Amino acid sequence: MANLAIAGGKPLFPENSSFQVSEWPPRDERTAERLREIYFSGDWSFNSPAEQQFEQEFAAAHDAAYGVFMANGTTTLECALQVLGVKAGDEVIVPALTWMATALAASYFGAIPVFVDIEPDTLCMDPEKLEAAITPKTRAIIPVHAYSSMADLERILAVANRHGIPVIEDCAHMHGGKWAGRGVGTWGAVGSFSFQQSKTMSSGEGGICITNDPEIANKIYLMKHIGYARNVKQGQAIKAPEGLLCHNYRATAFQAVILSEQLRTLPERLARYDESARILNEAIADVPGVRLQKHGRLATLRSYYSLHFLFDGPEFADIPKSRLTAATKAEGFEVGNVCHGPVYKHALFNLDASRGQFRIAGGSCPVCEKLTPCDIGLTHQTLYYPETAEKIGTIIRKVALNANELRKLS
């Protein structure tokens, strides 16, 4: 008799069971009312009061003095790199596992992304392998706080400081996170966040740089605002900032208002995700071969873009990810496929690969290549209701305990 539904056994949940997940992006009357006010105020862009307010609130929530609100979380990285003096031909170290934007931000102006392997437990940049990737051309390091984990800032900064190389934290997955009690994004020279539709705070599109350095904040502002300083009015003459080719990477007051409102409820959401993560961790704690991504050594307040299970034990060695996913679906809920895979394999980089435009430190990233095929993630929407996490936990547990049955299927 089969146990697993995919093998003909009885499913844990009947076909039309409901699994409550949070609506995304969130919407409420209060935000709608504030949007209406902005609409009639006509103050839509150009450093509007709503944008200034959000910049201050968001920076303060992460223990930073300054925030510069922008069009998206790729332009934030691009501006941060250029303001820190990175130029065409320079090398920028990024982790092998991230969204392509982290590496593309360097490529856009001719800098060369250099890919470093990840740690097996956190899935973030491996500080041990960082040192070996540094060359005389290295001008910046971008650790990514991936999914629900934080890169080891302490050890990465120790290496970076020894070489005098600035660090930009890519916090696109880590809104509200704290490392050793202090906001992510304030440990390196600049912290970059994205507010794209799927992120844990979203205004459809958007991004912000935070920093505690007034000079860096000022330069990033000039760069996103086509060279205008904060106090300059539209139409007023400006002095072009030397050596800084500026862009229009502005975002609007509408986005700022939506995000201000979401920031107020972020702590409550993070607590819910945390509770779901605890439940899911418990569900698999004694199951051989499967584990959860770790949160990071000194993570004190966790944020969640997604939560990742790694089926990397010998029990699952010859079971493809697609079969695991299909098995969860047959039990009642498909445990989704939020997983980036090695970023250097992305088509946009493969084009460049043939021309030798990027470098993989040490020639390959074996940890990233081994783990991404057995990584199955749950989105933050799924983590919003601990009752849903409870049910999903029973599904993952059942599937994981029946590896033998799964292996025999083809």
Interface residue list for ligand PLP (CB under 6 A): 72-74, 98-99, 101-102, 144, 170, 172-173, 194, 196, 207
Strand order in the sheet with 91-95: 138-141, 91-95, 112-116, 359-360
Instruction: Report the residue number whose CB is nearest to ligand PLP.
Output: 73
Question: Residue 265 phi/psi, 5° resolution?
Answer: -100, 0
Nearer to ligand PLP, 144 or 330 (CB): 144
Nearer to ligand PLP, 94 or 257 (CB): 94
Nearer to ligand PLP, 252 or 388 (CB): 252
Which one is catalytic: 129, 199, 294, 398? 199
CB 337 → ligand PLP: shortest distance, Å?
A: 15
CB 33 → ligand PLP: shortest distance, Å?
A: 27
Tell me if 295 sits within 8 A of 122, measured CB to CB. Answer: yes
Nearer to ligand PLP, 98 or 328 (CB): 98
Nearer to ligand PLP, 62 or 397 (CB): 62
Q: Is 210 left (phi over 0), alpha (psi -120 to 50) or beta?
A: beta
Nearer to ligand PLP, 176 or 289 (CB): 176
CB 51 → ligand PLP: shortest distance, Å?
A: 17
CB 207 → ligand PLP: shortest distance, Å?
A: 5
Nearer to ligand PLP, 171 or 401 (CB): 171
CA distances from 192 to 48, 61, 79, 185 (A): 21, 14, 10, 7
CB 394 → ligand PLP: shortest distance, Å?
A: 30
CB 172 → ligand PLP: shortest distance, Å?
A: 3
Q: Is 85 left (phi over 0), alpha (psi -120 to 50) or beta?
A: left
CB 307 → ligand PLP: shortest distance, Å?
A: 15
Task: Please work out, in degrees rounded to the nearest 5, the angle formed at the alpha carbon of residue 307 by the alpha carbons of 301 and 311.
Answer: 130
Is 233 noted as a catalytic residue in this protein? no
Residues identified as active-site: 199
